[in-house]
A = this chain, B = another copy of it.
Amino acid sequence: MVDQVFVDDTIKKLIEKYRVIWAIGHAQALMGWDSETYMPREGAKERSVARAELSVLSQQLVLRPELVELLEEAKKKVDSLNPYEKGVVRVLDRAVTQLKKLPPEHVYEYTKVTGEAVHVWVEAKQKSDFSKFKPYLEKIVDLARKTAEYLGYEKHPYNALLDIYEEGLTIDDMDRVFDAIIPHSKKVLEKVLSDGYYPSQHPLEKVSYDREKMEKVNKEILDLLGFPWDRARLDVSPHPFTVNMGVKDVRITTRYEGINFKHTIYSVIHEFGHALYELQVDEKLAMTPIAGGVSLGVHESQSRFWENIVGRSMPFVTLMKPILDKYLDFTREYSAEEIYRYVNTVRPSLIRVEADEVTYNFHIYLRYEIEKKLITGELNVDEVPVEWNNMMEKLLGIRPRNDAEGVLQDIHWSHGTIGYFPTYTLGNVIAAQIKQTIESKEKLEELLSQGTEGITRLKDELRKLVHMWGSTYPPKELIKIATGEEVNPEYFNQYLSSKYLK
């Protein structure tokens, strides 16, 4: 680590010009958090106007001539810059290039259509009626195609969309990942189902809990993980999420359904993983273009690392067991191993967000294949529900009984975010690869069995490997620096094998 992170004068000026854009991002993050947590219901309309106004303003500020000129100046001498400075240039250049390529009318149309589509999707899902959502999905696919054309791409238009969410990600990358993990996951699933150690159902799934007690459980689990309460919060929202206002203010949420307590606990651990990434970014990068996590895939690798690889391991369940028993009467009659089996049930299921780690990637693969074909026109929107159900049957041997269980289950398409889903699988794969890297020094089981001290060491490892860099390196380069090789799906297969085939 260099002592002075930013030394070049042009970069220093760029960062100064950028600060107001960061400030708008800070305000937007807070408005987003507040909208989901504490905002009075009727405040929604004024809030949405405020957010839209500030989005447009932020884009205008990115394209200010004085910022663009400084950026051009910096690009000319990019070879002489240090990695942090190069990161600043790369991230800003990406923003400027994207904004310049997308015509304002297109952005406006996209915002308008997706703004309406979300409400239509909610209703269509409630009524389990794809025909209601169909005209909007058609418009959204059309807009996504146009986005790809505006942004430009090599080989396949879907590459342009992938790159929005994961810098540099291509179909070739994702095909390689799915080709490696889908067949192996099938084998693992068959073995698990025939073997029976990991149950497909568990009696604890039906047990109700008291919300106040569960809030205490979640708080103590975060204490166990060393959640820094002076820089972070846990609140409640309809859909769990993580948001960061800066490196010293990162907030997560969970929800309480009142039954099947693993859901709330593992959503907390998942969001903790996201939060830790932001909390461990080097302070020196605060308020600069490279202050945040670098991509959705790398972010998801951190949340899934903590949720699955750490959280659903036997040593972690053992650490967690006394906390459960302290507040929940009904866990006391179960052994730690039995709790371990409960949090690791495996079964083919229809709903992605409820899927276990063996079957989860099938859900992503299905969406990935459909999205690719939608963008090229190989598949029409009205063919999607049947294609969805056929693929689900082929992959997991079960068939949705209706659209709500199938094509309408996710909100993503109504947000217009086509190209986003693959980052979930990428995250799972990177998480396993990072586990492998960490274990070259010390086995995770050993680390975790040391409790707080081991967890602290693990966090420090992740900090040094990934977190502290923020967006300094593009995701592919970061993974190579952190793990010594490119994204390699074999580590995910090895992880599943070692957990489920032994």
Contacts and interface: CB of A to CB of B under 8 A. Distances in A.
Interface in A73-96: none
A45 B233 contact: no
A245 interface: yes
A445 interface: no
A31 B247 CA distance: 17
Contact of A40 (B27, B53, B54, B231): B231
A252 to B, nearest CB: 12
Contacts of A246: 43, 46-47, 50
A391 to B, nearest CB: 43
A158 B383 CA distance: 75
A287 interface: yes
A249 B39 contact: yes
B54 A23 contact: yes
A233 B54 contact: no
B287 A249 contact: no
Contacts of A41: 230-231
Number of copies of this kind of chain in the complex: 2
Interface string A285-301: 01100000000000000
Interface of A is mostly: helix
Given A30-B27, A30-B30, A31-B27, A249 B38 contact: no
Interface string A21-65: 011101110110010001111110111011101101100000000
A231 B20 contact: no
A146 interface: no
Interface in A209-239: 228-233, 235
A196 B500 CA distance: 83
A476 interface: no
Interface string A229-268: 1111101000000000111110100000000000000000
A367 B102 CA distance: 58
A19 interface: yes
Contacts of A19: 49, 53
A43 B245 contact: yes
A50 B34 contact: no
Contacts of A43: 231, 245-246, 248-249
A57 B20 contact: yes
A42 B231 contact: yes
A245 to B, nearest CB: 6
Contacts of A53: 19-20, 22-23
A104 to B, nearest CB: 15
A47 B249 contact: yes
Contacts of A47: 26, 245-246, 249
Contacts of A38: 38, 233, 235
A46 B247 CA distance: 8
Contacts of A231: 40-43
Contact of A248 (B20, B46, B57, B249): B46
Contacts of A31: 27, 30
Contact of A49 (B45, B49, B50, B287): B287
A390 B282 CA distance: 55
Contact of A46 (B26, B56, B228, B233): B26
Contacts of A23: 49-51, 53-54, 57
- The CB with the most chain B CB atoms within 10 A, among A57, A228, A232, is that of A57
Interface in A308-350: none
A407 to B, nearest CB: 34
A40 B287 contact: no
B248 A54 contact: no
Interface of A: 19-20, 22-24, 26-28, 30-31, 34, 38-43, 45-47, 49-51, 53-54, 56-57, 228-233, 235, 245-249, 251, 286-287
Given A27-B27, A42-B228, A46-B286, 13 more contacts: A20-B57, A23-B51, A23-B54, A24-B27, A27-B31, A27-B54, A34-B34, A39-B249, A40-B230, A41-B230, A42-B248, A46-B246, A47-B246
16 contacts: A20-B56, A22-B53, A23-B50, A23-B57, A27-B28, A30-B30, A30-B31, A34-B34, A38-B233, A40-B230, A40-B231, A40-B232, A42-B228, A43-B231, A46-B287, A50-B246
Closest 10 CB pairs of A and B: A43-B249, A46-B246, A23-B53, A27-B27, A23-B50, A26-B50, A42-B248, A42-B231, A20-B53, A41-B230
